[in-house]
Structure 1
Amino acid sequence: MSTLREVLRNRRSWFAGLLALSLPTAVLWTGTASAVGGDPATTDQYRFVTKVDVGKADSGGRSCTGALVAPRWVVTAKNCFSENGQPVAAGRPARPTRVTIARPDLTRTDTGYAVSVVELAPHPDRDVVLAKLAVPVTDVAPVRLATAAPATDSVLRVAGYGRTATEWVPDQLRTATFKVTGGDGAVLDIAGSDAQQVGPCKGDAGGPGLREVNGTVELAAITHTAKGQGGCLGSRADDPRGGTQTRVDDLGAWFGQHLNEPVLNVMVGESANMCLAMTGSSMEPRAHAIQWKCSGAADQDWQLRPRAGGLFEVRNDRSDLCLATDDGKKEPRTHVVQWHCRDGNADQNWQLTKDDRGYTELRNTYTGLCLAIENDSKENGGHVLLWHCNANLDQNWMIKSRVEGRLIRSESSSLCIGTGGATGNDTHAVLAACDNANDSEWHLRARRGSYAELRNDRSGKCLSLAGASPNRGTHVVQQPCDDGVAHQNWLVDVDANGLTKLRNQHGGYCLAIEADGKQAGAHLLQWDCNANTDQFWRL
């Protein structure tokens, strides 16, 4: 069996020009070393550690390490994205960027995920950037952010895909332990566990510094610089060793500004098991709120936005209007309507109180009355009104939340992919207006490799090839989602302009518009991948 020192000497690293990368959280360890320049990580260890490839290797590209901190966000070193020494700007990366997740052995393309980056959120003062993924990765647990600074002499386990003592471009994630030797506030100095330890090396930038607290791994810092890369391939053995890491434990508020995804809510009444909706799906002010059979319609989606004093406004996602009392009345049996949202309108303020069964009471603080159903109706169209707060079931609402779907916009027509409001199997995918109708909104989820499923927000069904046919010209429809079928897998590869083709794994063709149509209702199909704009989509 190799000694730890021998393993460290054989450490691999392949970053060709960047000295540091940052991660969202750091984990402190007290166990044996197996870090940067150290031991290979196993398949199940550190699945949240990512490899970040900025640009193409044959055109001045570079690589770093990072960490998954939310399903759509990776933290890494800001300098990884710097071009010619210029500050990193918020927004689209200057070069196409791809993140590999949960793949400690990069040769195992049958494991893990490879996802494009669509947006950067750089920290204003530190070598830290958040990279937003085109497709959420939902079956890899993000690393938890630490909330306390690593103390001097504490131990961090540092992970990285960087260069080793013998390899320029390794294909294996490695980890090793480093001791915190000091620091100057935002930056920590780290040193190897013995004088011969290699690392950090190029390619380790942004790699997470991890610690374990009460059995939970936390991200405390990310790799910032390598002091001299002593022992790394291409450097002398007597060059300085060790490096620095940028703290992230005190950046919780900054992370929170970016990691929270917009959420929609469906409110289901306990008494009738129906959803809070708007009469006739109306978008007009003063339209009445009603109950209706839950159907996934956009007028049944609500945003609960905080207001002062722990109160909320209840905003309809379709109309963008807020629940209020009709004409400002305060009496019991006053009907509830939608009206222009204004913070100063007290009749739009609601107190939400959840009971131990998970049901929520919505109390209007202007009237002191609760949201209820007229005469406790069990019928479609039953009016929503205000009544004395009591234990009646028609005042209990189960709030079911989900992340808001996304529009997929055609570069050719400026219309979006929709289903025409239909929810049935084999409904054709068509061009539709890019509005807040939820049949034009989609949830993307990473599948193995570089593929993604596209799940319709209204129907819950996935974009598929009709009849599972691989043939050119096959129309695209929605069908029940099934991870095991290749005709629901779409390759997402975002370019420097923020556009992607959607290539189907089963057919090998790209999503296109029939006859390059530019009107709502035009059908979508798969066709030979080419440079036509009807094959380019903006997520």
Structure 2
Amino acid sequence: MRKLASVALGILAAALAVSTPGIANAQTDSGVQPSIIGGGTATETYSFMVSLNNGCGGSLVAPQWIVTATHCGSASQGRIGSTNKNSGGEVGRIDRRVNKPGTDLTLMHLSTAVRAAPVAMASSNPAPNTTARLLGWGCTSWPSCSTPTTLRQIDLRVLPSSSCYAGGGGSGDVCISGDRTHSACHGDSGGPAVVGTTGRWTLVGETHGPGDNGGECATSTLYTGIAQHLSWIRQQTGV
């Protein structure tokens, strides 16, 4: 269940070593223009969106706190509130992290508060068939992977949590639909699943991994449910 980030770190290292022209225009074997997989360029800035320098995503939930995935490992800084993972927004230095034992949920603390507006956190899981928006800088195609500089998004349906049990999910996690041409992918780990409308988003989950035991992209995606951990998050952050 931790392959989304482990592969992403390898991709990040390769990207630092080599620059490939035209990478954003790569296509899948079917000829479909790929995005997050199957989504499109972000339609708004998303003030709470975080690009971590470990290759993962995250969500700002308080002026000094980021929610992300434990399996992403350590990060020294995060870029907040920019659709470009390399420029813009605010860059915050991470001075400590707090892992919730037995889960894939981590809080990262910023040494200085940022001005960006945090995202609201869900107090209950969205019902099946609710539309959720996934955000990230992960692979835009699979198995041939290219990663974008500009944030991508895709709207997919929430499934019953049991649909992701094969991937290790529990009743408090959020399962999001996906298939070969529409899903989260490697590099999206730790990033958000949100519900709502433009400028009024609520965080319902952070990207954990594939929703089945295949361990790859192009399938349903398992998100660590925010609602089941809300009390712990509030206790740690004071939100």
**What TM-score do you get using the length of structure 1 for normalisation?**
0.34
In structure 1, which of residues 98, 118, 126 is the aligned counterpart of residue 77 of structure 2?
98
Paired residue type of 2:36? V
Partner of 1:247: 225
Measure, in 1, the Cα distance between the counterparts of 2:50 and 2:99. Answer: 18
Q: Give the 3 Å change call, closer, same or farther, for CA 214–136 of structure 1 in structure 2.
A: closer
Indicate if the aligned counterparts of 2:209 and 2:215 stay in contact, CA closer than 8 A. Answer: no
Superposed counterparts of 1:185-200, under 5 Å: 185-192=171-178, 195-200=179-184
Identical aligned pairs, as a percentage? 28
Superposed counterparts of 1:309-458, under 5 Å: none
Indicate if the aligned counterparts of 1:48 and 1:101 stay in contact, CA closer than 8 A. Answer: yes
Q: Give the 3 Å change call, closer, same or farther, for CA 229–65 of structure 1 in structure 2.
A: same
Partner of 1:500: none
Q: Which has the higher contact order (CA 8 A, sep 6+)?
A: 2
Indicate if the aligned counterparts of 2:125 and 2:172 stay in contact, CA closer than 8 A. Answer: no
Q: Give the 3 Å change call, closer, same or farther, for CA 170–216 of structure 1 in structure 2.
A: closer
Q: Give the 3 Å change call, closer, same or farther, for CA 17–246 of structure 1 in structure 2.
A: farther
Paired residue type of 1:168? S
Partner of 1:28: none
Measure, in 2, the Cα distance between the counterparts of 1:70 and 1:76. Answer: 13
5+ residue gaps, structure 1, are 1-13, 19-34, 55-62, 82-92, 233-239, 262-539
2:160 alignment partner, SS class: strand
Measure, in 1, the Cα distance between the counterparts of 2:171 and 2:180. Answer: 27
Indicate if the aligned counterparts of 1:76 and 1:130 stay in contact, CA closer than 8 A. Answer: yes
Give, in angstroms, the shift of residue 185 of structure 1: 1.1
Q: Give the 3 Å change call, closer, same or farther, for CA 52–66 of structure 1 in structure 2.
A: same
Partner of 2:40: 39
Give, in angstroms, the shift of residue 189 of structure 1: 2.2
Deviations 1:172-225 (A, max 9, x none): 111111212221312222213xx4433211110111110118983110111110
Measure, in 1, the Cα distance between the counterparts of 2:59 and 2:110. Answer: 12
2:56 alignment partner, SS class: strand
Indicate if the aligned counterparts of 1:229 and 1:241 stay in contact, CA closer than 8 A. Answer: no
1:250 alignment partner, SS class: helix
Give, in angstroms, the shift of residue 134 of structure 1: 1.7
Q: Give the 3 Å change call, closer, same or farther, for CA 229–161 of structure 1 in structure 2.
A: farther
Give, in angstroms, the shift of residue 169 of structure 1: 3.1
Q: Give the 3 Å change call, closer, same or farther, for CA 204–119 of structure 1 in structure 2.
A: same
Which of the two has greater helix per residue? 2
Q: Which has the larger radius of gyration?
A: 1
Give, in angstroms, the shift of residue 126 of structure 1: 2.0
Partner of 1:209: 193
Measure, in 2, the Cα distance between the counterparts of 1:100 and 1:167. Answer: 23
Indicate if the aligned counterparts of 2:42 and 2:151 stay in contact, CA closer than 8 A. Answer: yes
2:53 alignment partner, SS class: strand
Matched, 1:180 2:158: yes
Partner of 2:124: 148
Paired residue type of 1:102? G
Indicate if the aligned counterparts of 1:77 and 1:205 stay in contact, CA closer than 8 A. Answer: yes
Superposed counterparts of 1:101-120, under 5 Å: 101-107=80-86, 109=87, 111-120=88-97
Indicate if the aligned counterparts of 1:99 and 1:115 stay in contact, CA closer than 8 A. Answer: yes
Superposed counterparts of 1:1-20, under 5 Å: 15-16=8-9
Indicate if the aligned counterparts of 1:117 and 1:134 stay in contact, CA closer than 8 A. Answer: yes
2:66 alignment partner, SS class: strand
Deviations 1:439-481 (A, max 9, x none): xxxxxxxxxxxxxxxxxxxxxxxxxxxxxxxxxxxxxxxxxxx
Indicate if the aligned counterparts of 2:49 and 2:60 stay in contact, CA closer than 8 A. Answer: yes
In structure 2, which of residues 134, 138, 163 is the aligned counterpart of residue 162 of structure 1?
138
2:103 alignment partner, SS class: coil
Q: Which runs of 4+ in 1 moved over 4 A?
A: 227-230
Q: Give the 3 Å change call, closer, same or farther, for CA 142–15 of structure 1 in structure 2.
A: same
Q: Give the 3 Å change call, closer, same or farther, for CA 100–120 of structure 1 in structure 2.
A: same
Measure, in 1, the Cα distance between the counterparts of 2:219 and 2:36. Answer: 12
Partner of 2:105: 128
1:16 alignment partner, SS class: helix
2:177 alignment partner, SS class: strand
Give, in angstroms, the shift of residue 40 of structure 1: 1.1
In structure 2, which of residues 72, 81, 85 is the aligned counterpart of residue 80 of structure 1?
72
Partner of 2:63: 71
Paired residue type of 1:259? T
5+ residue gaps, structure 2, are 1-6, 12-34, 162-169
Measure, in 2, the Cα distance between the counterparts of 1:197 and 1:242. Answer: 11
